[in-house]
Amino acid sequence: ETGVTQSPTHLIKTRGQQVTLRCSSQSGHNTVSWYQQALGQGPQFIFQYYREEENGRGNFPPRFSGLQFPNYSSELNVNALELDDSALYLCASSLGTGRGYEQYFGPGTRLTVT
């Protein structure tokens, strides 16, 4: 059984550009959540996808968007990158929504915006 994987590992982009980050959920998991972890801070919830539909969103602007595919893998897209978007982006998958389901985190994608 493979765990949650994310690609790429590191990424450098210029302000104003667009970026796509990818996440493969753990086998059998139908729910994917995305978090942003700024340096020295705890992860902050961006949004969650459950069976290809958005299921809750944190306090992030619309230029942060996502997608979940039929195989439950997911993408995070960020448009018009800003310097403050520099962070570790974490993806977590779970067997379902709700408090009874443990979230398994991937190693993250480190995004640097210059």
Partner 1 sequence: QQQVKQSPQSLIVQKGGISIINCAYENTAFDYFPWYQQFPGKGPALLIAIRPDVSEKKEGRFTISFNKSAKQFSLHIMDSQPGDSATYFCAATGNFGNEKLTFGTGTRLTIIP
Cβ proximity to partner 1, 12 vs 80, nearer residue: 12
Cβ proximity to partner 1, 3 vs 16, nearer residue: 3
Minimum distance of partner 1 from residue 108's CB (angstroms):
6
Where along the sequence are the contacts to partner 1 (CB under 8 A)?
Answer: 4, 31, 33, 35, 40-45, 48, 50, 55-56, 58, 90, 92, 94, 97-99, 101-103, 105-108
Judging by DSSP bridges, how do beta strands 53-57 and 19-24 pair with one another?
Answer: unpaired
